[in-house]
């Protein structure tokens, strides 16, 4: 074996070793063998498009932004709290898979969140509770970009949730108007494994209240119905109380 061949073999082994170290904390999607992913438990839901996941391999928490989506601000925008609550009802405390493509400018993993074989990012777009948004050109594959954009367009045409407003303001425009440039780590809610509080509904008025709504605690026990999530309440014939949409 020539010196050049030996050198090439050594370089190849070195590259393989470095690759192994770089990906020691992640795995690869079983469907293609190349897409990196994290298996973990959702500790906290920060907004309708961001969660905190405990990596079951490293036992470290990871901030994940649902790639291809941007949710209304939970505290300042219409439907922001509702978007957060729906996402929490879907995944909080659950074991999920996060397929990812790098990180954004704030260090958040850009991931597709999968629970029970469902694309949660797409589910939020279908529900009309997030905007289709990308922060990097390669954030989505061409097929996902088509599917996500189509889901938003269908939600717009059906005037679902935030698209029921005559002139909805995108999260990007809202943040710019408030001078918000990001979400510092110290301002994020502390991770909690607790399940989201149930939805209370008034059996007579047929209105339901999320935990943040002013009327939540005023629903009489004798007239109270409880639901795990927004969709369950709406399937039962209840509508959101007006103050919950603010």
* Domains of the chain from N-terminus onward: 25-187 (2.40.50.90), 199-245 (no CATH)
Map residue 19 onto helix, strand or coil.
Answer: helix
Q: Please tell me the predicted confidence (pLDDT) of residue 21.
A: 34
Q: Return all residues near 235 (Cβ < 8 A) that are at least 6 apart.
A: none
35-55 tens-digit pLDDT: 688 999 999 899 999 999 999
HSE-up of residue 188 (Cα within 13 Å, Cβ side): 20
Neighbours of 246 (CB within 10 A): 14
- Retrieve residue 229's tokens: 């999530």
CA distance 176 to 172: 6
Question: Which residue is it, tokens 């061949």?
Answer: 5
Least confident stretch, 85-89, 140-144, 159-163, 191-195 = 191-195
Q: Please tell me the predicted confidence (pLDDT) of residue 23.
A: 39
Q: Where are the beta strands (DSSP E) in the chain?
A: 27-28, 36-47, 50-55, 61-66, 69-70, 95-103, 109-115, 118-119, 131-132, 199-202, 207-209, 224-227, 239-240
CA distance 93 to 88: 8
pLDDT, average across residues 43-69 = 92
pLDDT, average across residues 76-96 = 92
pLDDT-based confidence at residue 26 (cuts at 50, 70, 90): very low
Q: Return all residues near 202 (Cβ < 8 A) that are at least 6 apart.
A: 208, 209, 219, 220, 223, 224, 225
Q: Please tell me the predicted confidence (pLDDT) of residue 110.
A: 92
CA distance 139 to 81: 26
CA distance 120 to 152: 14
Q: Please tell me the predicted confidence (pLDDT) of residue 240.
A: 83
pLDDT over 60 (residue 210): yes
Q: Please tell me the predicted confidence (pLDDT) of residue 118.
A: 96
pLDDT, average across residues 119-135 = 95
pLDDT over 80 (residue 244): no
> Which contiguous run of DSSP H or E holds residue 234?
helix 230-235
Nearest to 23 by CA among 40, 42, 38, 41: 38
pLDDT, average across residues 209-214 = 79
Q: Please tell me the predicted confidence (pLDDT) of residue 187.
A: 41
Q: Please tell me the predicted confidence (pLDDT) of residue 14.
A: 43
Map residue 35 onto helix, strand or coil.
Answer: coil
Write down the mean pLDDT value for the chain. Answer: 81
Q: How far is CA 4 from the centre of its chain?
A: 50
Q: Please tell me the predicted confidence (pLDDT) of residue 241.
A: 85
Least confident stretch, 5-19, 123-137, 203-217 = 5-19
pLDDT over 60 (residue 17): no
């Amino acid at each position: 074996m020539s010196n050049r061949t030996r050198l090439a073999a050594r370089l190849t082994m070195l590259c393989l070793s470095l690759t192994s170290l770089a990906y020691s904390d992640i795995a690869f999607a079983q469907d293609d063998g190349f897409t990196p992913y994290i298996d973990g438990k959702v500790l906290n839901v920060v907004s309708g498009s961001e969660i905190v996941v405990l990596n079951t391999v490293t036992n470290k928490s990871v901030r994940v932004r649902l790639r291809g989506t941007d949710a209304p601000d939970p505290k300042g925008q219409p439907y922001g709290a509702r978007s957060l609550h729906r996402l929490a009802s879907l995944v909080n405390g659950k074991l999920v898979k996060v397929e990812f493509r790098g990180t954004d400018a704030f260090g958040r993993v850009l991931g597709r969140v999968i629970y029970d074989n469902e694309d949660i990012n797409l589910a939020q777009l279908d529900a009309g509770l997030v905007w289709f948004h990308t922060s990097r050109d390669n954030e989505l594959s061409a097929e996902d970009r088509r599917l996500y954009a189509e889901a938003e367009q269908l939600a717009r045409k059906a005037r679902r949730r935030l698209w029921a407003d005559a002139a909805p303001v995108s999260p990007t425009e809202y943040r710019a108007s408030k001078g918000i440039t990001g979400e510092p780590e110290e301002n994020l809610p502390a991770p909690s494994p607790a399940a989201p509080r149930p939805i209370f509904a008034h059996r007579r008025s047929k209105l339901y209240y999320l935990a943040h709504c002013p009327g939540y605690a005023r629903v009489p026990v004798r007239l109270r119905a409880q639901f795990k999530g927004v969709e369950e309440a709406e399937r039962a014939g209840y509508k959101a109380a007006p103050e919950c949409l603010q």
